[in-house]
């Protein structure tokens, strides 16, 4: 057995997946207890009275093309959240195993671990180093109980991307010991290549992608786990059938048409320009202490009085993210880059 699956819970390794109704869409379906009529106003291509493909191979193949991988290395999920949940449930035993995270970071890593009963080991990102990844600190915190190391790059909420060479050095150090899970939800905004190109050389690396951000499909809830085929096959035992809805599948295929992909690329360029403009203008506002560099579609901004800035933005009809409870971010807010008019309204509220 490959070490990347030998690390998983023994009961998951032995698990027999749910046996769903067979998928032969060319035949009349009298085997899945569906209603033979469509619902009123159902405008979907396939009909919402029918179950979607249990494990959508066509969707996996299309996403494999998008990310330049084989379909066997692609697992579509209900957002990256489901991928995090699947990994944690498959690899962490209640009361015995652990995950390692680097706060301040995305909260779902620790939440999924605690729901599973796994220990959460934290290695704080330090503002003095620009929230960069400190390899020596990570390795010093590693214990035999750690099964998963979760890193977000570009990191949410700090906005910085981690050094690629450091990530690969960490992957080598974790080989045979733990999986390195790199969440690239914001990588399209960074201009940097995905770490998924390294999956062949580093089978213990798992990359999480999403269509929620750059592809404007947050409401469709389509995330993607990219990994060695053995890891994907293991997680397919755990993921429920019909996880991706028919409406989401059709929305993804429409969005990934060639003319729409050109629009996605143009929007990435436009957002990057607006991000830099907004950062420069925020830095000039009274009460703004620091605007951190960002490789994502948001800015981490520190204020003399974050509560006052939050209230002024709210009075202007704008919601920004309050980070005052996050480790090391006492007077910080996270501001998503909107369209120019929205950003100007925010700037006016802070003047």
Beta-ladder partners of 335: 299
| Residues 180 and 301 grouped into a single domain | no
pLDDT confidence tier of residue 22, bands split at 50, 70 and 90: confident
Q: What percent of the chain has pLDDT over 70?
A: 100
Is the confidence at residue 24, as pLDDT, over 90? no
Q: What is this structure's pTM?
A: 0.95
The verdict on 224 and 88 lying in the same domain is: yes
Q: Which of 261, 260, 251 is nearest to 56 (CA)?
A: 251
Q: Which of 216, 239, 256 is the last residue of a domain?
A: 256
Least confident of 28-32, 57-61, 313-317, 339-343: 28-32
CA 184 to CA 165: how far, in whole Å? 16
Give CA–CA dist 93/147, Å, rounded: 10
Task: State the average pLDDT over residues 277-295.
Answer: 96
Evaluate whether 186 touches 296 at the Cβ level (below 8 Å). Answer: yes
Q: Tell me: pLDDT of 1 over 70.
A: no
Q: For the segment 31-90, what is each residue's pLDDT rounded down to a tens digit?
A: 889 899 999 999 999 999 999 998 999 999 999 999 999 999 999 999 999 999 999 999
- Separation of alpha carbons 168 and 238, rounded Å: 28
Q: Is 175 exposed, middle or buried (0-12, 13-18, 19+ CB in 10 A)?
A: middle
Per-residue confidence (pLDDT) for residue 106, from 0 to 100? 96
Domain end marker among 256, 284, 299: 256
Domain boundaries, position 323 = 259-349
Tens of pLDDT, residue by residue over 120-169, are 999 999 999 999 999 999 999 999 999 999 999 999 999 999 999 999 99
Asked whether 156 and 329 are in contact (CB, 8 A), the reply is no
Whole-number pLDDT of residue 17: 84
Mean residue pLDDT of the chain comes to 95
- Count the Cβ atoms, other than its own, within 10 Å of residue 13: 14
Q: What is the CATH number of the domain that holds 248?
A: 3.40.640.10
One domain for residues 92 and 215: yes
Report the alpha-carbon distance of residue 278 to residue 335 in Å, rounded: 10
Which residue, of 207, 231, 256, is where some domain finishes? 256
Give the dihedral sign, CA 293/159/189/275.
negative
Q: What is the pLDDT of residues 209-246, one digit of tens each?
A: 999 999 999 999 999 999 999 999 999 999 999 999 99
Domain shared by 215 and 306, yes or no: no
Answer yes or no: is pLDDT of 102 > 70: yes
pLDDT for 245-266, tens place per residue? 999 999 999 999 998 999 999 9
Q: What pLDDT, on a 0 to 100 scale, did the predictor assign at position 257?
A: 94
Query: Which of the residue ranges 12-16, 97-101, 185-189 would you say has the lowest mean pLDDT?
Result: 12-16
Percent of the chain with pLDDT over 90: 91
């Amino acid at each position: 057995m490959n070490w990347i699956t030998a690390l998983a819970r023994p009961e998951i390794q032995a698990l027999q997946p749910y046996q769903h109704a067979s998928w032969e869409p060319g035949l009349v379906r009298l085997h899945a207890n569906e209603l033979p009529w469509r619902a009123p106003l159902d405008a979907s291509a396939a009909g919402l009275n029918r179950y979607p493909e249990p494990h959508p191979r066509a969707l996996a193949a299309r996403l494999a093309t998008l990310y330049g991988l084989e379909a066997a290395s692609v697992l579509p999920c209900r957002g990256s959240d489901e991928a995090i949940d699947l990994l944690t449930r498959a690899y962490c035993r209640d009361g015995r195993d652990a995950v390692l995270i680097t706060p301040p970071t995305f909260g779902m890593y620790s939440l999924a671990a605690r729901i599973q009963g796994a220990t959460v080991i934290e290695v704080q990102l330090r503002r003095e180093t620009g929230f960069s990844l400190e390899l020596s600190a990570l390795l010093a915190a590693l214990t035999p109980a750690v099964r998963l190391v979760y890193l977000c790059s570009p990191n949410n909420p700090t906005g910085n991307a981690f050094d690629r060479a450091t990530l690969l050095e960490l992957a080598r150090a974790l080989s045979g010991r733990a999986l390195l899970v790199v969440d690239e939800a914001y990588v399209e905004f960074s201009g940097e290549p995905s770490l998924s190109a390294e999956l062949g050389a580093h089978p213990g690396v798992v990359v999480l992608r999403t269509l929620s951000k750059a592809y404007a499909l947050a409401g469709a809830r389509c995330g993607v786990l990219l990994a060695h085929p053995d890891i994907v096959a293991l997680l397919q035992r755990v993921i429920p059938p019909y996880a991706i809805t028919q409406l989401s599948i059709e929305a993804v295929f429409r969005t990934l048409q060639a003319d729409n992909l050109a629009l996605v690329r143009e929007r990435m360029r436009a957002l990057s320009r607006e991000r830099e403009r907004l950062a420069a203008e925020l830095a000039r506002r009274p009460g703004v202490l620091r605007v951190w560099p960002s490789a994502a579609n948001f800015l981490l901004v520190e204020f003399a009085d974050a509560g006052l800035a939050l209230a002024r933005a709210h009075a202007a009809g704008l919601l920004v993210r309050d980070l005052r409870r996050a480790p090391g971010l006492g007077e910080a807010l996270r501001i998503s880059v909107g369209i120019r008019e929205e950003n100007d309204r925010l700037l006016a509220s802070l003047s």
